[in-house]
């Protein structure tokens, strides 16, 4: 491959990966075209992008970016996967794909999150964390919990008194 072609490919990869801070690297060598198509379609439906690149060209493209450590420990062609609502959701999708028997040759190699290199094992650990939606729901529950407790504490005695007043009114109506 000539230097001119390498530079063109490198600039294309750089443009595609520009602005991406978190990604996962996987090995999909040895998969047949039908399985690769199914993975790409599944990822595309989830809003996730996958780019199979030669490691040396990708390394040149991501110099001085947060993705640079992504290609340190891999060799040959790799699939760079990014996208999704947040990195945890991306890791969850990768873990679910890795478990499917049809995609047994799909192998996670690692990832990068906020500039920190992650091993394949760490990516699977991150997939067990709560994603953005789950974290928001936990936070909202924690915010609303004291208010709900206060309302219950105020409502409890007040409902008892209201029940006693209602009973007194019913007794007076029965007497009349």
pLDDT, tens digit (0-9, with 9 covering 90-100), for 66-75: 888 888 877 8
Query: How many C-beta neighbours within 10 Å does residue 16 have?
Result: 15
Total Cβ atoms within 10 A of residue 25:
26
Q: What are the φ/ψ torsions at residue 89 (nearest 5 degrees)?
A: -65, -40
In the structure, what pLDDT confidence band is assigned to residue 25 with cuts at 50, 70 and 90?
Answer: very high
Give the CATH number for residue 73: 3.30.70.1730
Same domain, 114 and 135: no
Query: Would you call 13 helix, strand, or coil by DSSP?
Result: helix
Neighbours of 89 (CB within 10 A): 20
125 lies in the same domain as 67: yes
Q: For residues 121 and 135, state if they share a domain.
A: no
Q: What is the pLDDT of residues 130-174, one digit of tens each?
A: 888 888 888 888 888 888 787 777 777 877 887 888 888 888 888
Is the full-model pTM beyond 0.85? no
Q: Are residues 115 and 155 in the same domain?
A: no
| Beta bridge partner(s), residue 168 | none
């Amino acid at each position: 491959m000539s230097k001119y072609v390498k530079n063109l490919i490198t600039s294309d990869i750089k443009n595609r990966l520009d602005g991406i801070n978190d990604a996962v690297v996987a090995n999909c060598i040895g998969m047949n075209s039908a399985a690769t198509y199914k993975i790409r379609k599944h990822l595309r439906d989830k809003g996730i992008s996958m780019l199979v690149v030669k490691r040396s060209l990708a390394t040149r493209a991501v110099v001085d970016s947060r993705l640079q450590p992504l290609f340190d420990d891999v060799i040959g062609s790799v699939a760079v996967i990014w996208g999704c609502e947040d990195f945890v959701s991306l890791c969850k999708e990768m873990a679910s794909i890795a478990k499917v028997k049809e995609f047994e040759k799909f192998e996670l190699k690692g990832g990068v999150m906020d500039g920190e290199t992650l091993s394949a094992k760490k990516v699977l650990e991150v997939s067990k964390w709560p994603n953005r939606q789950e974290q928001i729901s936990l936070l909202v529950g924690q915010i609303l919990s004291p208010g709900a407790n206060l309302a219950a504490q105020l409502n409890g005695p007040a409902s008892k008194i209201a029940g006693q007043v209602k009973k007194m009114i019913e007794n007076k109506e029965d007497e009349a």
